[in-house]
Structure 1
Amino acid sequence: MITRRYILDTNVLLQDPLAIYAFEQHEVIIPAVVLEEVDSKKRNMDEIGRNARYVARLIDDLREKGKLHLGVPLSNGGSFRVELNHRSFGKMKEHFFEVTNDNRILAVALNMSLEEKENNTGVAVTLVSKDALLRVKADALGIHAEDFLSDRVVQYDRMYTGYKEISVPPEIINQLYEKKVMKLDKVGKFNYYPNQFLIIKDETNSSRSALGIISKDCKDIQLFIPQDDTIWGIRPRNVQQRIAFELLTRDDIPLVTLAGKAGTGKTLLSLAAGLYQTEDLQKYNKLLVARPVVPVGKDIGYLPGEKEEKLRPWMQPIYDNLEFLFNTKKPGELERILAGMGSIQVEALTYIRGRSIPDQFIIIDEAQNLTKHEVKTILTRVGEGSKIVLMGDPKQIDHPYLDEYTNGLTYVTERLKHLSETGHIKLQKGERSGLAQMAADLL
């Protein structure tokens, strides 16, 4: 017996095409207008278009089970129905009289909710939408509304940081400095992950500390003594940046994720580490730097010039950091250097889809604007002998269907943190300038 009906907004399906299976044994309802909106997106050559086409095929397959307007069973024990009635605006006119697609979805939810109450069926009706304003309008009409939460990985404030601060007796620190390695269970029982760093403080003397890194099998902790050497003129300014440099230069960690707000040094550190290992050590054949063109997946557009000229406005943050690292002063000097070296490639993600990328140091900037599918596609392109760095700020997302809970950077960090081939650090302190740090904290 049905106890709850969920009415899905278009944005839920466009973000997660499998959303209809996320409501267990309850009934999932798609208003007809939602099908129209999905249909209008199916020709898009981006992630939204791909999801729209996937939804269309999924619903078409369900037709084999029966009439969609009457309801068909789902494999998870629930049911699915396309709602063709309940579109009357009679109850909506006093509040939202304009016949928009959002209001048509609201009308379905309102009329269905009122019908269930009048018949005293005890069936609850819930509108599910990623649109905050639609949920507000629903609440004003007395309709129960919820955000779609099942695709969330973790809240950014609870995101894996890559390090943990602990306090221990002084003899533990003495032993670590003396033997360089010790059993992990001696510093306490926590949830540990491979390549996670521990900032170990003396519980009797707050100024005395040690820095350790957890082994790949999570059994030992090894003393980590950061080197003071500069890499391409860049010297780490805080402990998180030192950890980042260690992860970026380790051969046995092919996937590194860096998270942090603007000015924490993500791009500069990654480029310096990439140039050092590509140009100086020659571990990699090429340094490939890419970032999504927002909106993600769309073409560059009708900007004048060749591809490089079109890319320049989107890639300017990368070029700014390269100019700093190469200490260029004159216009065009950086372009001449890059053309002469030939081992540095700056691309939009549009142009690396479908490629196999072996023996390269790959940097993906603004990874928070990638969907789960896109970041999976990119990681599966990484060839033998390559290292890939995903970085970004989950608090600054430009993608219309992503948030800090569902973006590709958060997804990869949380889903792969238990693997010995991965490393992560969340950079906290801004080092760009005092003004930049103040703006990031207060504005």
Structure 2
Amino acid sequence: MTSPAESHRKAFVLDTNVLIHDPNALLNFEEHHVLLPMTVLEELDKLKSGKATVSVECRAAIRQIDRILGDASPQQIRAGVPIWRDAQREHLGFLSVLLDQPEGSVQTLNSALNDNKIINLLVALQLAEPATDLVLVTKDINMRLKARACGIASEDYANDQLVSDIKQLAKGYAHFEGSFWDRFSRVDSVQALGETRHYLKRADWAEAVYANQFIKDEMGFIGRVLSVDDEHIVLRDLNEDRLMSQEVWGLKPHNILQAMALDLLADPSVHLVSLTGPAGSGKTILALATAIEQSIEDKRFNKIIATRSTPPLAEEHGFLPGTEEEKMDPWLGAISDNIEALHLHDESPKGSIEYVRERANIQFKALNYIRGRSFQKSLILIDECQNLTPHQMKAIITRAGEGSKVVCLGNLAQIDTPYLNPISSGLTYMCERFKGFAHGGHIQLEGVPRSVLAEYAEANL
């Protein structure tokens, strides 16, 4: 693996979960050497034919590996096949496939587990190639720990991590001490179409600013950024009393952050809304109430598509009885619960719930079967987005057709999958990527209006 021209270099060894997380990960290590253990290929082969969501990523990764290797001979694959970049018409880095550990080589861990096989292989390779700095790249935290204990450097796959600390994630609003207007030398205000707009000089605003970000100060001013360019920032003046008096399907906001969320959800010019926050902060009920009113009263949408990320054991929906909707009902119970909550005080709650589900055409869809479809004039409600990878998030959002709106809900403190954390979650990735999108908005809700008990549990458990 070494050559006279390269006496010391770095090589990255990819684990299976990295390729599942991002099938294009092979292309993201620039000029470095990428190594794939044979065990990784065997794991991809076992997972590629299943019905689970992960099988799609496995097949995509296998196709990408096959494209890179092409007609290379075994000797070329061992030495390294150039990774060609179609856009630049050049190659950066090389890809090699490592055979299983040969007989008689050093053993460090029990080889019954595939993770241990990979680590054992790296230990033997490091002894044979001391001039090469091996780095194991894996989403599996425990595997990284075992590799470090065996003297192998390891790290997480961070190509799609846009923030290094979850505190850097945009909240969707900016709070200013004192008066917001004191920092501007000139403000031009215009009243038109029943609203007031303020035109500010971009040079007077030192902080980061983006479209559909909310502004509030200690003097009671609340505004929403409509557009940003190199010269000006346009703000829509929002009256706090008007925001708090909003009502959708009998639901009113409990706090100003919920009022901001309703303003985004009700705006037809905003095609993508993401709501994050703790359990009980009102994410689902706000989105659902707005979706029902816009479907039944405003006739803006023909149907409401509800879906969510399901735990790995639930991805094989065929083992559950009934239709697709009945199979998904246990995993979309939060949607049903919130429909009931919106009609709890009706004279006939059961009749109201049936009426709403039929008139709003609420459909429960499995995440597996959304791929490849296109939804026109639909509101796509995605719950538990914190458990989706960036690749999965893209696959769902791109299903939105003409006249559709996507609402993403999630709590980054409740990630269930072992290969994601708040920084690498698809929800975090999407919020950062769409921060400059003129037709997208994000709000991080706070507090737990669900109940006093829920609020105390969120803070103390």
Match of 2:146 among 133, 137, 143: 137
The residue number in structure 2 matching 1:64 is 71
Once the two structures are TM-superposed, the CA of residue 193 in structure 1 deviates from its matched residue by: 0.3
Distance in 2 between residues matched to 1:77 and 1:278, nearest whole Å: 50
User: Which structure 1 residue ranges, 4+ long, deviate > 6 Å from structure 2?
Assistant: 173-179
Distance in 2 between residues matched to 1:114 and 1:264, nearest whole Å: 54
Identity of aligned residues (%): 35
What are the residue-to-residue correspondences of 1:37-186 with 2, within 5 Å?
37-61=43-67, 62-66=69-73, 67-75=76-84, 76-84=91-99, 86-87=101-102, 91-93=106-108, 96-117=109-130, 121=131, 123-154=132-163, 155-169=165-179, 172=182, 180=196, 181-183=198-200, 185=202
Q: Is the 8 A contact 2:380 2:407 kept in 1?
A: yes
Secondary structure of the 2:317 match is: coil
**TM-score normalised by length of structure 2:** 0.84
**TM-score normalised by length of structure 1:** 0.88
Give the letter for the 2:272 counterpart. L
Secondary structure of the 2:293 match is: helix
Q: Is the 8 A contact 2:305 2:362 kept in 1?
A: yes
Give the letter for the 2:291 counterpart. G
What are the residue-to-residue correspondences of 1:8-407 with 2, within 5 Å?
8-61=14-67, 62-66=69-73, 67-75=76-84, 76-84=91-99, 86-87=101-102, 91-93=106-108, 96-117=109-130, 121=131, 123-154=132-163, 155-169=165-179, 172=182, 180=196, 181-183=198-200, 185=202, 188-201=205-218, 208-217=219-228, 219-226=233-240, 227=242, 228-295=245-312, 298-327=315-344, 333=351, 336-338=354-356, 341=359, 343-407=361-425
Distance in 2 between residues matched to 1:186 and 1:6, nearest whole Å: 44
Once the two structures are TM-superposed, the CA of residue 342 in structure 1 deviates from its matched residue by: 5.5
- The alpha-carbon distance between structure 1 residues 369 and 334, as it changes in their structure 2 partners (threshold 3 A), is farther
RMSD of Structure 2 on Structure 1 (CA): 2.8
- The alpha-carbon distance between structure 1 residues 171 and 57, as it changes in their structure 2 partners (threshold 3 A), is closer
Q: Is the 8 A contact 2:304 2:361 kept in 1?
A: yes
Once the two structures are TM-superposed, the CA of residue 354 in structure 1 deviates from its matched residue by: 3.2
Q: Is the 8 A contact 2:262 2:290 kept in 1?
A: yes
Once the two structures are TM-superposed, the CA of residue 173 in structure 1 deviates from its matched residue by: 9.8
Unaligned segments of structure 2, at least 5 residues: 1-5, 85-90, 191-195
Once the two structures are TM-superposed, the CA of residue 168 in structure 1 deviates from its matched residue by: 4.8
Give the letter for the 2:71 counterpart. E
Once the two structures are TM-superposed, the CA of residue 285 in structure 1 deviates from its matched residue by: 2.7
Unaligned segments of structure 1, at least 5 residues: 202-207
Report how many aligned residue pairs link the two structures: 431
Q: Is the 8 A contact 1:284 1:359 kept in 2?
A: yes
Distance in 2 between residues matched to 1:340 and 1:91, nearest whole Å: 65
- The alpha-carbon distance between structure 1 residues 354 and 17, as it changes in their structure 2 partners (threshold 3 A), is closer
Once the two structures are TM-superposed, the CA of residue 273 in structure 1 deviates from its matched residue by: 1.1
Q: Is the 8 A contact 1:184 1:221 kept in 2?
A: no
Which moved further from structure 2: 184-193 or 330-339?
330-339
Deviations along 1:164-205, one digit per CA (max 9) or x if unpaired, are: 11235576499989874241548632111011101123xxxx
Once the two structures are TM-superposed, the CA of residue 265 in structure 1 deviates from its matched residue by: 0.3
The residue number in structure 1 matching 2:432 is 414
- The alpha-carbon distance between structure 1 residues 166 and 113, as it changes in their structure 2 partners (threshold 3 A), is same
Q: Is the 8 A contact 1:199 1:209 kept in 2?
A: yes
Distance in 2 between residues matched to 1:277 and 1:198, nearest whole Å: 26
Deviations along 1:17-42, one digit per CA (max 9) or x if unpaired, are: 22222222222211221211111111
Q: Is the 8 A contact 1:293 1:350 kept in 2?
A: no
Distance in 2 between residues matched to 1:173 and 1:18, nearest whole Å: 45
Q: Is the 8 A contact 2:276 2:412 kept in 1?
A: yes
Once the two structures are TM-superposed, the CA of residue 353 in structure 1 deviates from its matched residue by: 3.6
Q: Is the 8 A contact 1:177 1:223 kept in 2?
A: no
- The alpha-carbon distance between structure 1 residues 211 and 339, as it changes in their structure 2 partners (threshold 3 A), is closer
Distance in 2 between residues matched to 1:171 and 1:373, nearest whole Å: 41
Distance in 2 between residues matched to 1:10 and 1:262, nearest whole Å: 32
